[in-house]
Structure 1
């Protein structure tokens, strides 16, 4: 069985706006949601900026017990999933034919750090007392709890999984869900990713390897993918969850289709935990295989939603990968990075980028790369600087790159498959 898979529901929680409409408006306005960190005192850290969500769980239907039980990342996932199911208009789900896939790079980071602070008396006690911890601490320790929470929230009793492949988790989770649907193991998949990593431990880790920007005096313009003055990425948080269905079934019920998942592939460079080869070979191979699965020529790509983290290593690697995989068409297709506006939410960002890609198809608008004023000469493609662009968009390539050497690519097309 090889069924076609479409996106019929979408729930987005991102910095700068909770909700899909707010998310898309932020992107098309070219506004940035990066600011000085407010979740804790960032003064001791090299990088003191992040893209935070103004999120109050009780305003989104979560009760006090749910808030206590779930880490912030799980809360974001549950709210996004519920929004996606509502948006899909799918009605009552068949629980045994509905599955869940959730991507996350760092799991319950905020909850675990907070509970360690409590049980250790802010680190003063070497021998900790577990009785001071919340009763549901184990759920914070195992990322599988994210899939369980989403499944309970939407009433799914089919296949359930967590995908954790670093910063490609959001792409990989949706790719896995599409494969489950295509093979016939489920009829509906609620799939996406979540991460809420803005915490002292995460800041310390990225400070240690100088991956995040020290541009603390200009938080609004700190994320600068492909710009010659960039000096690291801006940490973010967020969640995006989708309802995926078999295409014919969705069309029969009159569902609104955002996009079709036409092709997906992932590769690992088996090279270095954080390093990338400059030739972009592994990402180029993921792109090649995704295009082949989609039966799509490089010249058919209308827009590339780039990983675009804002580190020199990644931006140059990615530019080389586009040239290697798309040939001369790489110079003709618009490319942009939404991380310039909403930061890098680690495992969640791939799903947020899928959302942006599907909305680009829906509206024929390419979101810009904010803060791009001085292009790096080595990044010489059309990176849509500063301002969104009206652009006939029916086929989008979304890519991701993650620590550990993970490289992923997904091809999305319009509801009717456009020219296919």
Structure 2
């Protein structure tokens, strides 16, 4: 494939709502998790700050139709506005949109379903505001774009699958520009209860609630977060290019269990090899791992890295110890970390992880994501 230009990126998450705020957050060793009181229990979550949520409230008031939208959609609209502004794309331009979500309008769907159970009737807007397709559709409405609109859910690798779609359209010559990303607002009692039922939710009471990339942990420590992240992709490399996509990889492995990957994450082995097929593996300086904070999830991915890279040891990092697992948005928030490390030429360490050898320069980084079903994606980016 020819390199694809990343002309801008934007996000809103527990780390902040501007690239400057996000990078500043990465430079400290503090997590962004708090206890949230639900009806039946209290659990750790990683939520967008009350100050940053004011921007979402303002967005909600900017159009009377937006007051009925779920935060999953509003987060995505907010980030998309910021991204196209940075890329100097204009409202009404011809560009494609593919913003995915693992679960979609989670809070709104649960609210409408509870109303139905109580009253036996459904609200008028319950269907159009809870379909997965309404994320990209509302962004297209907000930005008045004229290109194709795509929405999908492929569990926790959704955002990187959106990126794969954008790359494919650009490579095919069907579009010159594509806005891709993921959004998730899953901090509801039912969603947290589902993760607890899987026995993956953190029970830590002191220190870091999520121990992603801590290979000595003896219990699972996943924690849910929320947010949205998007990137602007273009065919042409130009003076506004932030970084390049050099390779993409994807794979699905045969399931042994509904929720797990193999001990050596065969899917990641295949996806990383595919993403790097046109380079020497020794050129990879760092990998932003999926690393959800579970025992098997973390160890299997590291085993896959060892299988693929052998004696070459890329610097490994993850962000889930800081902002939690944002489901369908997580791949693009990983991508954002990779872009920021490339831009600032500084690697972000996991504070409780074993010290690693660092490359003198950061030229190429792999971004990983995987979801239920063993569907892995790896993306190779470079300066």
TM-score, normalising length from structure 2? 0.92
Any conservation in 2 of the 1:3–1:247 contact (CA below 8 Å)? no
Aligned equivalents of 1:365, 1:390: Cα separation in 2: 10
| Correspondent of 1:368 among 349, 361, 381 | 349
Aligned residues: 376
Relative to structure 1, is the Cα distance of residues 170 and 391 closer, same or farther in structure 2, using a 3 angstrom cutoff? farther
Provide structure 2 residue ranges, at least 5 long, that are not aligned to the other structure.
none
Task: Evaluate the alpha carbon distance shift between residue 3 and residue 106 of structure 1 in structure 2; reply closer, same or farther with a 3 A threshold.
Answer: same
Residue in structure 2 matched with residue 159 of structure 1 by the alignment: 148
Q: Which residue of 2 aligns with 1:273?
A: 258
SS of 1:18's equivalent in the other structure is coil
CA–CA distance in structure 2, aligned partners of residues 142 and 93 of structure 1: 24
* Cα deviation, residue 60, structure 1: 4.3
2:121 — aligned with what?
129
Q: Secondary structure at the match of 1:120?
A: helix
Q: Which residue of 2 aligns with 1:34?
A: 33
Matched, 1:204 2:187: no
* Structure 1 outlier segments of 4+, above 6 Å: none
Cα gap change, 1:393 to 1:61, in 2 (>3 Å): farther
Summarize the Cα distance change of 1:52–1:80 in structure 2 as closer, same or farther, 3 Å threshold.
same
Equivalent runs, 1:175-186 vs 2, <5 Å = 175-186=164-175
CA root-mean-square deviation: 2.0
- Partner residue of 1:111 out of 108, 111, 117: 108
Q: Quick one: distance in 2 between partners of 1:244 and 1:92?
A: 16
> Conserved in 1, the CA contact under 8 Å of 2:12 and 2:18?
yes
Q: 1:119 to 1:36 in 2, by over 3 A?
A: same
Partner of residue 210, structure 2 = 223
Q: Which runs of 5+ in 1 are unaligned?
A: 376-380, 415-420
DSSP 3-state at the match of 2:156: helix
Residues 259-286 of structure 1: CA deviation (Å, up to 9, x unaligned): 1111111111121320221122221011
Q: Aligned pair 1:401/2:382, yes or no?
A: no
Q: Is residue 20 from structure 1 mapped to residue 15 from structure 2 by the alignment?
A: no
Which residues in structure 2 correspond to 1:260-299 (within 5 Å)? Answer: 260-271=244-255, 272-292=257-277, 295-299=278-282
Contact in 2 for aligned 1:168/1:408 (Cα 8 Å): yes
Contact 2:46 2:324 in 1 (8 A): yes
Aligned pair partner of 1:301 in 253, 264, 284 = 284
CA drift of 1:114 comes to 1.6
Please point out which of 309, 312, 330 is paired with 1:329.
312
Tell me, in whole angstroms, the C-alpha distance in 2 between the residues paired with 1:59 and 1:390: 43
Pick the aligned partner of 1:170 from 159, 179, 189. 159
